[in-house]
Amino acid sequence: MARYETEEQQVEAIKQFWKENGTVIVLGAVLGLGGLWGWRYYNTQQLQAQEQASSAYQQKIEQLEQDNGFSTVKQFVEQQGESDYAVLAALHLAQEAVDRDDLSEAAKQLSFAADHSSVEAVAHVARLRLARVQLQQEQPDASLKSLQSIPAEQFVAQVEELKGDIYRQQGNFEQARVAYQAALEQSAGNRLLQMKLDNLSAEANA
């Protein structure tokens, strides 16, 4: 998968890919497997179900900002089980929950997305966001644990910056400095990150 500047770009690319190719992928799997085990195991009902799930996902996400939209999308996630559409909907729910300052619900939805995504990049994005939420909940140990399963080579800047935030919250300013510097090496010119690093000395001496 191509490298992206932010995890948001990765998720958007994946969502666009599924929107454009989801049905074609399923059809290809149907034709390929049909040649091995027979068409009867993968009939048109599976294709129709995939198309219906895609349509339902788009409709539910559009309803998210309505009065009862949050509960409607939650119901969709529960109905879809472990499908990729349920995972993407859960990511939307998590963002909405953060906007509502409902960090517990956000953590729940992000955990679901991380545990059930069939796309590794989406799972890693979900875990990164979960770690951020856990830090906001003042759960630094849980936040660090969530980061452990994210491949460093794909999210170096984001992971190291968050590690810096965690160590900073714990009062471990030296480890925070090392983490921020590692993040800056991958994200040169990030003024907010540089500011965090510059402020460490003052905080350590406070």
Residue 34 above 60 pLDDT?
no
155-192 pLDDT, tens per residue?
A: 889 999 999 999 999 999 999 999 999 999 988 788 99
Q: Name the class of domain 7-154.
A: mainly alpha
Where are the chain's structural domains? 7-154, 155-206
pLDDT of 15 reads 56
Q: What percent of the chain has pLDDT over 90?
A: 33
Query: With helix as H, strand as E and coil as C, how does the chain read?
Result: CCCCCCHHHHHHHHHHHHHHHHHHHHHHHHHHHHHHHCHHHCCHHHHHHHHHHHHHHHHHHHCCCCCCHHHHHHHHHHHHCCCHHHHHHHHHHHHHHHHCCCHHHHHHHHHHHHHHCCCHHHHHHHHHHHHHHHHHCCCHHHHHHHHCCCCCCCCHHHHHHHHHHHHHHHCCHHHHHHHHHHHHHHCCCCHHHHHHHHHHHHHHCC
61-86 pLDDT, tens per residue?
A: 555 555 566 777 777 777 767 777 78
pLDDT of 134 reads 96
80-124 pLDDT, tens per residue?
A: 677 777 888 888 888 888 988 999 999 999 999 999 988 888 888
* Of 12 and 30, more confident: 12
pLDDT of 63 reads 56
pLDDT of 90 reads 86
